[in-house]
A = this chain, B = another copy of it.
């Protein structure tokens, strides 16, 4: 099976680039399922129903988010209608929306997608490691689902690597999001789970994590209130990860970073 995940889409620059790249990537890489993290797609803060539709139209199957999910308030009421728009699974009981879903690809194969959030230097949610144990009891790779993908939205490399090893052999793919910088550590862990610490954003890298650098630097320097951060508007680099899984076991056979456009060195899965 062929899976594609694009990292945090940032503002109009990231949206334009990701919406353009998505159909092309699906086509060229013969992708069975495409997942996009949209938590920063609405001017850097959250996502709207309209933007969700644009991504579905461009070929996304499941949309993930993170700590910015509620930044656009309309999403609070919208999310319960849209069963493939995920918010972090380990939000408190009673939170609107869903943190996991199963998507059936055109081929008939079933892909479980889980959006989980880390806790180190982040909000204290329920334990992602115990949550993973519960979910991996429900979604059994190679048994009732053909692939299991975690979008693990977290700050630190230590929690992300630990989470990868925790799921190793039980998930097809554990991908970090949230730091907005792609890491160069794509690997298949010893148990067969594909892993990359951070997918990286779809956004302009002449910036501070996608936002214009001037007011961000001013905040660090002066500790004074400065204007609201605005998305950088130069050409975006689309950052993603491409994974091939074994049809029998659901484990990964191959992981390749995808990077196109903008300031970063490109990376394209070799055929």
Contact = CB atoms under 8 A, between A and B. Distances in A.
Interface stretch (A51-59, A98-106, A222-230): A222-230
Q: Is the interface of A mostly helix, strand, loop or mixed?
A: loop
Nearest to A179: B157
Interface string A89-104: 0011111100000000
A162 interface: yes
A236 to B, nearest CB: 13
24 contacts: A73-B225, A96-B224, A119-B124, A121-B121, A121-B155, A125-B223, A126-B126, A127-B221, A129-B217, A157-B209, A158-B208, A161-B181, A166-B217, A166-B221, A182-B184, A183-B184, A184-B257, A184-B259, A184-B264, A185-B200, A185-B205, A186-B264, A187-B205, A190-B206
Given A95-B222, A184-B257, A184-B265, 16 more contacts: A70-B224, A70-B225, A92-B127, A96-B224, A121-B155, A125-B223, A126-B126, A157-B179, A157-B181, A159-B220, A161-B208, A162-B213, A162-B216, A183-B198, A185-B205, A187-B205
Interface of A: 70, 73, 76, 91-96, 119-121, 123-127, 129-130, 155-159, 161-163, 165-166, 179-187, 189-190, 197-198, 200, 205-209, 213, 216-217, 219-225, 257, 259, 263-265, 267
